[in-house]
Amino acid sequence: MGEFGLISRLAEVLGPPASDDAIVGIGDDAAVLRFGREHVLVTTDTMVQAVHFLPGSPWEDIGWKALASNVSDIAAMGGEPRFALVTLALPAEQPAADSESVYAGLRACAERYGVSVVGGDVVRAQQVAITIALLGVARSGGGEPLLLRRAAARPGDAIALTGTVGDAVGGLLRMKDGTPPDDALVRAHLHPEAQLAAGAAAVTAGIRCAIDVSDGLLQDVGHICEMSGVGAVVQAGAIPVSEALRKAFGKDSLRLACTGGEDYQLVVVGQAALMEGLIRSAGVPVTVIGEIIDSADPRVRLLDDAGREITFPSRGWDAFRS
Ligand SMILES: [Mg+2]
């Protein structure tokens, strides 16, 4: 069973939320909880040594990335991050200076995105792991929360992407080959930026559907299709790939861009006219890469310039298959 099959079985064990104030529960980038007039967003993520980061990764970057990946989930809901709880697990023999470096990276990321760390836990474990729970608030209009939902894609909507994809996995591969951490692709792997301003611009532009690219572009567009009950067509030639990735990986850069994951860019889905507004206001490059189609099969078809379908052995990251 893969990660997503496991999640749906565990969700069945829990049953539906007991409270009507859980507006959005399991299955989106963050949960949405109503507290009086406010709508609180909450998300959590764990990074484990040797699973999510290579031994030898700078400790400061591990702290940065652990928080940035959570901020990205708030960005993918169109919200504003506020407060974090941090749990650090580490072996007894780990030097205290390493933990301090993790927290220095955390602090830098918290300052960058306006987050306050308000508590957490430190526990002993066999290997280093860091878990962050992040709370944020939804923007609102006319008393209603303005949200970017995975379930809000409609046939005919444009699919757009911020920035470039594939750089993070390119950096991971280069790091495995011994490339030092100051390489541009390795930086993209170790020190990602969350697209907070673009998420805010999308929700303000009237767009209601997005996801962040954490598992891999095709897989993450697939999550939108499953939740929305639609299909998608993505034009391979439109996918933005950085010069650095192209230079380092040549023809393989398309596969890395489509399946790599951990880029923390946003996939934004909405009517073409709204997308034009976003392209003008996002403050970062936003590229239309495809279209949502009416389909009972929640499949993402990747097409080349001649309209032929391109397939890859894997569509992205799965914690229990890789
Ligand atoms: Mg996400």
Contact between residue 200 and residue 162 where contact means Cβ atoms under 8 Å apart: no
Instruction: Please count the residues of the chain.
Output: 322
Provide the token pair at 169: 């996995």
Q: What is the pTM of this model?
A: 0.95
Distance CA 60, CA 47 (A): 13
Burial class from Cβ neighbours inside 10 Å (0-12, 13-18, 19+) for residue 164 reads buried
Contact between residue 254 and residue 241 where contact means Cβ atoms under 8 Å apart: yes
Beta bridge partners of 43: 134
Q: Rounded to the nearest whole angstrom, what is the distance from the C-alpha of residue 211 to the centroid of ligand 1?
A: 6
Instruction: Report, in angstroms and rounded to the nearest whole number, the Rg of the chain calculated over CA atoms.
Output: 19
Q: Rounded to the nearest whole angstrom, what is the distance from the C-alpha of residue 268 to the centroid of ligand 1?
A: 12
Residue 319 has a pLDDT of 65
What number of helices (H) and strands (E) belong to the chain? Answer: 10, 15
Listed in sequence order, the residues at least 6 apart from 307 whose beta carbon sits closer than 8 Å to its beta carbon are none
Q: Rounded to the nearest whole angstrom, what is the distance from the C-alpha of residue 95 to the centroid of ligand 1?
A: 32
Q: Rounded to the nearest whole angstrom, what is the distance from the C-alpha of residue 44 to the centroid of ligand 1?
A: 10
Reference 69, options 53, 45, 41; nearest CA is: 45
Listed in sequence order, the residues at least 6 apart from 312 whose beta carbon sits closer than 8 Å to its beta carbon are 218, 255, 258, 259
Q: Rounded to the nearest whole angstrom, what is the distance from the C-alpha of residue 306 to the centroid of ligand 1?
A: 32
Residue 5 has a pLDDT of 86
Q: Rounded to the nearest whole angstrom, what is the distance from the C-alpha of residue 97 to the centroid of ligand 1?
A: 31
Burial class from Cβ neighbours inside 10 Å (0-12, 13-18, 19+) for residue 250 reads exposed
Low-confidence ranges of the chain (pLDDT < 70): 319-322
Rounded to 5°, angle at Cα 238 from 235 and 243: 140
Q: Rounded to the nearest whole angstrom, what is the distance from the C-alpha of residue 262 to the centroid of ligand 1?
A: 10
Would you call 187 helix, strand, or coil by DSSP?
A: helix
Q: Rounded to the nearest whole angstrom, what is the distance from the C-alpha of residue 32 to the centroid of ligand 1?
A: 14
Residue 321 has a pLDDT of 64
Distance CA 208, CA 85 (A): 28
Sheet strands side by side (includes 158-162): 209-212, 266-270, 158-162, 286-293, 231-235, 300-303, 309-310
Contact between residue 136 and residue 76 where contact means Cβ atoms under 8 Å apart: no
* Intra-chain end-to-end CA distance of the chain, in Å: 12
Q: Rounded to the nearest whole angstrom, what is the distance from the C-alpha of residue 204 to the centroid of ligand 1?
A: 20
Distance CA 178, CA 186 (A): 10
